[in-house]
Amino acid sequence: MLLFLSKSNGLKTNLPDPIKLEQHGYATKEAVLISLKRAVSRYSMLQADDGHWPGEFAGTLFLLPSLIVALHVTRSLTTVLTSEHQKEIRRYLYNHQNEDGGWGLHIEGTSTMFCSVMNYVALRLLWEGLDSHGSMLQARSWILDHGGATLTPSWGKFFLSVLGVYDWSGNNPLPPELWMVPYFLPIHPGRMWCHSRLVYLPMSYLYGKRFVGTTTSIVQDLRNELYTVPYNEIDWDKARNGCAKEDLYYSHSPLQDIVWATLKKIGEPIFLHWPGSNLRKRALDNVMKHIKYEDETTQYLCIGPLNKMLNMICCWVEDPNSEAFKLHVERIYDFLWVAEDGMKLKSYNGSQLWDTVLTVQAIFATGLTKEFPHTIKLAHDYIKRSQISANFPGDQTKWHRHIYKGGWTHSTADHGWPVSDCTAEALKAILLLIKLPRKLVGEPMETSRLDDAVNILLSLMNDDGSFGAYELTRSYEWLELLNPSESFGDIMIEHSYVECTSSVIQGLVLFREMYPKHCHMEEIENCIQKAADYIESIQRSDGSWYGCWAICFTYGTWFGVRGLIAAGRTYKNSQAIRKACEFLLSKELLPLGGWGESYLSGQDMVYTNLEGNRAHAVNTSWAMLALIDAGHVILFL
C-alpha cells in the first residue's frame, strides 16, 4: 500500500539535497528546516486520496488465527480467502515464528502456549502438513514439550472448543445469564471495560449453546497432535484451570476459583435442564440482541477484530444464510493488511483518524503548511468527515453505550466507538486548521460540531478528574479479582490513562483560547484543573508516568508533562514537572544522547532499555519534546 502510494503520488516539490551532519556537528536552523521540508514532502507522498494516511496497525499474534478458525467453522475459508491470501498469511505466520518453534503474544514476544497453539492450528487449517519446512514439527514439539494444549489459557481453550479440538467441559463457565442480572450490581457486564465485555458477550452465546464446528479430518488430526495424552483420556475438569507458566500473566484469585467451581458444579447443570433451560434460552436471546446492536452500530466492523470474528460465528450459528453473516464477511477485508512480512490482521480496522490528526499537528508545528496546501486540505476534509454526527436511535443505556455524537474514533466513522484522546487530538487539529486561511485548508468545521466534541469530552470525565478511553469507569478495581483471561491484566473495568487525560486537557485548553466566551466555560475550566490534579496524583515516585498506549514511560511522561504545561503549570512552579525532567534525563543513554525503551517496560512495569542499550528515534523524540515543552532546555542552555 505505502509503496503504491509513494509511486503514484510522486514528489510534489523539488527537494534540496539531504543534510549530512558531521560527528559532533551543529544543526543550524537552515539544516533543520531543510530536513523538515524533506520529511513533510516524503510523508505527503504517502497520503491516500481521501486524505488519511494508511498504515499498519498490527503485531498481536492471536488475532489472525481467530479469523482462520472463524472462517473454518462457518465453512467460508476458501470463499473469503483466495489462494494468494492464504499464501501471504502462511508467510506472515512463519516469519514470526520464534527460533524455538513457538509464537509469542506479539511479534517481539517470547513463545507462549496460547499463540503457539493458535498459530499452529491456523497453519494446519490452511493445509500445512506436519513436515512443512520443518517448522510445523518444531512448533508441535514446542507445544508438547511445554505440556500440550490443555495448558492453553482460557481464550485459547474457547477457540479450540468452537473448532472441536477441545471439549467444552474443559472451560470455566461463561454464563449468558450474567447479562440478565440487575445493572446496579458491580458484576454486571455493562459495567465492564467495553473491549472485554464485547469479547465475552459472543463467547457467552457460543458457550451457552455449546456450539462446535463440523468435525472434519483436520479437526480429528489436531485432536491427536496437540496433547500429551490421547484425546479421549484427557481429564477435562482438571484442564479447566490449567495454564502454561509462559502465559500466566494474571493468575486466578482463590475467589475466582470458587466462583467458577460453583457455576460449573451447580449453576450449569441447572441451566442445561428444565426448567432452568428456559432461562438459558431467554439469556441467549438477550445476548443475541446485544450482538446485533454492536454489529449494526459499527457497520459490522465491531469494536475490534476479536469480537467481530466471534459475532460473525454467532450470526452464522443463528442462521448461516443471514444477511448479518454476509455483511460481516464483507468487512473482513477492512482488517487485512499485507506488508513485506506477509498478510496480517490489524488490531482495529485501522488507525486512520489517529494518524491523520497527529500528522496535521506535526505539519502545523513545522511552519510549512503554506508549502503543502493540497496535503493539508485533504487531511482537513478527512477529519471533518470522520466525526460521528449523531447518536444512534433508541435508548443507548439499554445497550450500555456512552453518547456518540461529536466524537471521533481511532479509525473511521463507521467504527462507531469514539475515544477520548482521539476526539481531543482531532479537536486540536481542527482548531489549528481554523487558524489557517480558508483558501489554504478549505471551509472550517461548523461551531456546533465543535460544541458536540467539547460536550462528549466533558461527559467522559470521571469524578476524580481522570479520563478513560471509551467510557466512564463504571465499577470497582476489585472486579479485577474476577479477571479470567490469565494472559492479560487490567481488562475488567475502564481504567484511566495519563495519555487520555492529557489529550483532553490540551484539546480543551486550545478550545478555551479560541472560544473564551463559550457557554460552558466554567465547566471547561473545572475539567482542566481537575484533570491536571489527577495527572499530578498518579505520577510515580521516580517522576515518571506509566504509558499504556505506547512504550511506555517515555511516552507516558511526555503526555504527563504536556498535560500539566497546557493546564498552566511550569517548570518553576511545578515539582511534578521538575521530577519528570529529572526522570527523563536519568534515562538518557550517554554518550549517545538518545533514549531507547523496550516493550518490556510495559510488561514488567519497570523502565527497561532496548537490548544493547540502543537509542531509538521515537523514544528520543518523546523525551526531547517533553523537555522542550517543560522549558528545561531553555533554562539550561
pLDDT digits (tens, 9 = 90+) for 158-189: 999 999 999 999 999 999 999 999 999 999 99
User: Within this chain, do residues 285 and 239 fall inside the same structural domain, yes or no?
Assistant: yes
User: What is the per-residue DSSP string for 133-163?
Assistant: GGHHHHHHHHHHHTT-GGGS-HHHHHHHHHH
Q: Looking at the structure, tell me whether residues 441 and 578 fall in a common domain.
A: yes
Residue 56 resides in a domain: no
Residue 285 has pLDDT above 70, yes or no: yes
Nearest CA-CA partner of 497 in 469, 476, 461: 469
- Which of the listed residues 294, 329, 345 is the one where a domain comes to its end? 345
Q: Where are the alpha helices (DSSP H) in 179-322?
A: 194-209, 217-225, 236-239, 254-262, 268-271, 276-297, 305-318
Average pLDDT over residues 126-147: 94
Q: Tell me what pLDDT residue 99 has.
A: 98
- Cα of 89 vs its chain's centroid, Å: 21
Burial level of 36, CB count in 10 A (0-12/13-18/19+)? middle
H helices of 300-446, in order, are 305-318, 323-330, 352-366, 373-386, 420-434, 438-441
CA 545 to chain centre: 20
Least confident of 390-399, 407-416, 567-576, 578-587: 390-399
Res 229 pLDDT > 80: yes
* pLDDT at position 24: 60
The pLDDT, as a whole number, for residue 636 is 47
487-517, pLDDT tens digit by residue?
999 999 999 999 999 999 999 999 999 999 9
pLDDT tens sequence across 85-132: 999 999 999 999 999 999 999 999 999 999 999 999 999 999 999 876
pLDDT at 14: 67
Residue 274 sits in the same domain as residue 390? no
* 57 located within any domain: no
Q: Quote the pLDDT of residue 619.
A: 98
The Cα 356–Cα 174 span in angstroms is 39
Residue 199 resides in a domain: yes
In this structure, the answer to whether residues 382 and 267 fall within a common structural domain is no
C-alpha grid cell for residue 583? Answer: 526522570
DSSP state, residue 463: T
Cell, residue 132: 512443512
Averaged over 303-314, what is the pLDDT? Answer: 99
d(CA 374, CA 366): 16
More confident residue, 415 or 28: 415
Q: 255: buried, middle or exposed (CB in 10 Å: 19+, 13-18, 0-12)? A: exposed
What's the structural domain count of the chain?
3
Please give the pLDDT value at position 637: 46
Residue 512: inside a domain: yes
The rounded distance, in Å, linking the Cα atoms of 161 and 167 is: 6
The answer on 605 and 512 residing in a single domain is yes
Examine the domain organization and report whether 88 and 26 are in the same domain.
Answer: no
User: Contact at 8 Å (CB) between 194 and 302?
Assistant: no
- Please check whether residues 479 and 576 belong to one and the same domain: yes
Structural contact between residues 504 and 460, judged by C-beta atoms closer than 8 angstroms: yes
Same domain, 299 and 406: no
Percent residues over pLDDT 70 in the chain:
96
Range of the domain at 42: 1-46
Q: Tell me if 51 is assigned to some domain.
A: no
Q: Is residue 58 assigned to a domain?
A: no
Q: Return the minimum-mean-pLDDT range out of 400-404, 438-442, 628-632.
A: 628-632
- 356 and 446, same domain (yes or no): yes
338 lies in the same domain as 358: no
Same domain, 285 and 393: no
What per-residue confidence (pLDDT) applies to 344? 98
362-408: per-residue pLDDT in tens? 999 999 999 999 999 999 999 999 999 999 888 889 999 999 999 99
pLDDT interval class at 296 (50, 70, 90): very high
Which of 286, 243, 261, 257 minimizes the C-alpha distance to 487?
A: 243
pTM of the model: 0.95
Confidence of residue 632 (pLDDT cuts 50, 70, 90): confident
Q: Does residue 469 belong to any structural domain of this protein?
A: yes
- Asked if the model's pLDDT at residue 476 lies above 90, the reply is yes
55 in a structural domain: no
* Residues recognised as catalytic: 421
Q: Which pLDDT belongs to residue 253?
A: 86
Q: Could you give the percent of the chain with pLDDT greater than 90?
A: 91
| Domain boundary pick from 299, 316, 345 | 345
What's the CATH number where 543 sits?
1.50.10.20
Residue 148 clears pLDDT 80, i.e. is over it:
yes
Average pLDDT, the chain: 95
Is the pLDDT at 548 greater than 70? The verdict is yes
Domain final residue, candidates 304, 326, 345: 345
Q: Tell me the mean pLDDT in the region 418-431.
A: 99
Q: Tell me, yes or no, whether 300 and 361 share the same domain.
A: no
The answer, yes or no, to whether residue 553 has pLDDT greater than 80, is: yes
